[in-house]
Amino acid sequence: MRAAIYKSYGPPDVLQIVDLPKPTPKENEVLIKLHATTVTSGDARLRAFNLPPGFNLIGKFIFGAKAPRNQVLGTELSGVIEAVGQGVTKFKPGDEVIAFSDAKMGCYVEFKTFPETGAIVHKPKSLSHEQSAAICFGGTTALSFLRRANIKPGDRILINGASGGVGTAAIQLAKHFKAEITAVCSSPNHALVQSLGADHVIDYRTTKITELPDQFDIILDCIGSLNQQNTRSILHPKGRLLLIVVSFRDLLAAPLQSMGSGKKVIAAPVVTKPEDIQFLAELADQGEFTPVIDQTFPLDQIAAAHALVDSGRKIGNVIITF
């Protein structure tokens, strides 16, 4: 089967297309024929080994010091079950599914085995494989942080980096939770974020968000430019600051920063449960969550797809088709 691999950390052209053996499902696994996967900001970070400050040492330990231990990137997929192991009861050949391998990665392949008890659910009927492939990375990140912030109807939320993979999912989920949304992105993306549910829009290039006269119940920072200090005046005294991109130091400091203040800083990494994927898939079928697609590339143009993600300007998601 065809696959994209990388044998060393570096720019997009470290990716190469190779032939790998087609896997066989074990007793409790399914074999999925992929229709689509994505290139996420996480994939691009790992390919370049460009981790947030302070994570290099632990990152080398986990992902490989001199070269990547796992040569196949890709965290999410949409496809069709081709075969199932003898013990599989939830799925059958022909079922359309989405799955999230998260940090285990391995989705830049034509065929992938997946445990039936993992983060795998039936694909939403109303979405294409391309849209469905992009449900999990942005969706589970946004959902996990919004739930930890106890988002509730009427909450005023500011989403910084609203036009990216996580931001476009966060707008739609915050809308589902009936929050009042202020989306921060450059003005060419304002119409898009409004169409997703943003009530107010701000261009970070012309307005300093840390000096806004407003106060927010929740601030979700998908960029890494906000912290407890510079959001002091715009976060409600009982507000929650959600930091998706943090240095190792800020990650450790977050619980301490919450002490002695009504404000809460939440920075812990995302832990995804299969129920979260099911929730997102159902929301998609109800028409409340549709992953935004920037561009779609065939597998053999995966380096170009990574270059687009490296630009830091992608809108929503970048898709790879097989």
Interface residues with ligand NAP (CB under 6 A)? 40-42, 45, 141, 160-161, 163-167, 184-186, 189, 204, 222-223, 225, 244-245, 269-270, 309, 312-315
Q: Is the CB of 151 or the CB of 254 nearer to ligand NAP?
A: 254
Residue 293, CA distances (Å) to 164, 168, 185, 199 in order: 10, 10, 17, 21
Structure tokens at 173: 């989920």
Q: Is the CB of 298 or the CB of 312 nearer to ligand NAP?
A: 312
Q: Is the CB of 160 or the CB of 182 nearer to ligand NAP?
A: 160
Asked if 33 and 100 touch (Cβ cutoff 8 Å), the reply is no
What whole-number distance in Å separates Cα of residue 130 and Cα of residue 290? 11
Q: Is the CB of 27 or the CB of 275 nearer to ligand NAP?
A: 275
Least distance from ligand NAP to the Cβ atom of residue 62, Å: 14
What whole-number distance in Å separates Cα of residue 154 and Cα of residue 144? 19
Q: Is the CB of 98 or the CB of 193 nearer to ligand NAP?
A: 193
Closest CB to ligand NAP: residue number: 164
Asked if 28 and 115 touch (Cβ cutoff 8 Å), the reply is yes
Least distance from ligand NAP to the Cβ atom of residue 321, Å: 19
Asked if 322 and 129 touch (Cβ cutoff 8 Å), the reply is no
Least distance from ligand NAP to the Cβ atom of residue 28, Å: 27
Least distance from ligand NAP to the Cβ atom of residue 45, Å: 5
Determine whether 112 is exposed, middle or buried from the number of CB atoms within 10 Å of its CB (0-12, 13-18, 19+): buried
What whole-number distance in Å separates Cα of residue 270 and Cα of residue 221? 14
Asked if 181 and 198 touch (Cβ cutoff 8 Å), the reply is yes
Q: Is the CB of 154 or the CB of 312 nearer to ligand NAP?
A: 312
Asked if 75 and 105 touch (Cβ cutoff 8 Å), the reply is yes
Least distance from ligand NAP to the Cβ atom of residue 316, Å: 7
Q: Is the CB of 157 or the CB of 223 nearer to ligand NAP?
A: 223
Q: Helix or strand or coil: residue 118?
A: coil
Least distance from ligand NAP to the Cβ atom of residue 295, Å: 12
Least distance from ligand NAP to the Cβ atom of residue 136, Å: 11
User: How many CB atoms sit inside 10 A of residue 149's CB?
Assistant: 23
Would the CA dihedral through 220, 222, 225, 228 be positive or negative? positive
